[in-house]
Amino acid sequence: MNSLNLSLNEKLDQALERIKSAQDLQVLYEVKVSFAGKQGFLSEIMREMGKLPKEEKPLFGKEVNRVKEAFEGAYQSRESELKDQELLAKVGRDRLDVSLPGPKVESGAKHPIQLMFDEAITILARLGYTVRTGPQIEKDWYNFEALNIPPDHPARDTQDTFYIDDEHVLRTHTSPVQIHALLSEKPPFRCLAPGSVFRCDSDVTHSPNFHQIEGLLVDHKVSMADLKGTIAFLFSEMFGSQVKVRFRPSFFPFTEPSAEFDLSCPMCAGKGCRLCKYTGWIEVGGCGLVNPRVFEAVKLDPKTWQGFAFGFGIERMGMIKYGIDDIRLFFENDLRFLRQFTV
């Protein structure tokens, strides 16, 4: 064992001398590989330890650890010194001329979808509406059951809805946010639910992931006249006072009575063009008075409380406002398209 100890100390002294004389990190690393690498001196001598008598192995192992620690301490110290030297040399080489023009920085801007969200929220905030948010992965009860959408309703088919499991779906509308609000807040209140929704649909006017904003008002003695006035105000502010709104009877499980509402085409002033398919009108969204069954689902007395709800697609609003004829442009991240909305 004495010969092995002597070899250990000699190799350590040589390694320490090489560490001290190393002038760059590459040379220093080569010292480490030759002494402490997988094929280095320490690995070889550890294999020799297997030939020692059993009682000598612990003492020799302790000596190997001492040598290894001495080597690592010297290595880390010299490595730190060389890194500091390299940094100082780099700072000395890299000079900054403050008189030179700076690099061109591309400025970001809001996406057109966000611009439409902001505009609608700002307008409705003047009527007392505030924003609520909710999960995009929603329980079936909030997305369907509480909104009076029965199990056999076509909207609940897998061809229309993305199911996560038997109890959870990717929300198909932002109406579940209204259910959360009705359960957690005491009426009266007015809220908006903007956000992403998901449906199994994809073409030039439909996307499997799109955006909606829905409004809910709950109070005493609410009527269709209140609803029509709210929607007319919103779109006259958004598109101008010359735009007209019309309502058509419809059916939605969560509202009764229900209606769909259209805008007179702002591009052709109702005369007929490609955007409105030459009808003079553009279908925008749906609305109605809150169905009493929805109030019953959230334990509110429908004889005491009434309300109305309305909703529309944000992409549809953007297509109308900016004259966009393909919904897919909103999602392609084409800078030529997005730069048109930079303020």
Residues 224 and 263 grouped into a single domain: yes
- 187, 220 contact by CB (below 8 A): no
Q: What is the number of other CB atoms lying within 10 angstroms of the CB of residue 332? A: 11
Average pLDDT of the chain to the nearest whole number? 86
Q: H-helix or E-strand containing 228? A: helix 224-239
Residues 88 and 136 grouped into a single domain: no
What are the DSSP E strand ranges found in 89-198? 130-131, 137-139, 168-170, 189-198
Give residue 114's pLDDT. Answer: 92
Give residue 282's pLDDT. Answer: 87
For residue 324, pLDDT beyond 60: yes
By the 10 Å C-beta count (0-12 exposed, 13-18 middle, 19+ buried), 228 is classed as middle
Residues 25 and 152 grouped into a single domain: no
Residues 55 and 126 grouped into a single domain: no
For residue 1, pLDDT beyond 60: no
Q: In this structure, is residue 103 part of a structural domain? A: no
Give residue 155's pLDDT. Answer: 73
Residues 59 and 127 grouped into a single domain: no
Q: In this structure, is residue 100 part of a structural domain? A: no
Residues 188 and 45 grouped into a single domain: no
Among 24, 58, 93, give the residue marking a domain's end: 93
Three-state DSSP at 41 gives helix
Residues 76 and 129 grouped into a single domain: no
pTM of the model: 0.66
Q: In this structure, is residue 106 part of a structural domain? A: no
Q: In this structure, is residue 54 part of a structural domain? A: yes
Q: In this structure, is residue 107 part of a structural domain? A: no
Q: Please state, in angstroms and rounded to a whole number, the distance separating the CA atoms of residues 259 and 308.
A: 11
Give residue 205's pLDDT. Answer: 60
Give residue 203's pLDDT. Answer: 65
User: What's the distance, CA 275 to chain centroid?
Assistant: 31
Residues 28 and 124 grouped into a single domain: no
How many domains does the chain fold into? Answer: 2
| Phi, psi of 250, deg, nearest 5 | -150, -170
Q: In this structure, is residue 102 part of a structural domain? A: no
pLDDT in tens, 217-227: 999 999 999 99
Q: Looking at the DSSP assignment, which residues form a beta bridge with residue 288?
A: 258, 309
pLDDT in tens, 9-45: 787 788 888 888 888 888 888 888 888 887 777 777 7
Mean pLDDT of 140-157: 85
- According to DSSP, residue 155 is labeled G
Among 44, 66, 93, give the residue marking a domain's end: 93
pLDDT band at 197 (very low <50, low <70, confident <90, very high): very high
pLDDT band at 343 (very low <50, low <70, confident <90, very high): low
Residues 33 and 84 grouped into a single domain: yes
Domain span at residue 81 reads 2-93
Position with higher pLDDT, 2 vs 164: 164
CATH code, 144:
3.30.930.10
Residues 281 and 143 grouped into a single domain: yes
Q: In this structure, is residue 141 part of a structural domain? A: yes
pLDDT band at 6 (very low <50, low <70, confident <90, very high): low
Residues 15 and 163 grouped into a single domain: no
Q: In this structure, is residue 235 part of a structural domain? A: yes
Residues 175 and 62 grouped into a single domain: no
Among 58, 93, 128, give the residue marking a domain's end: 93
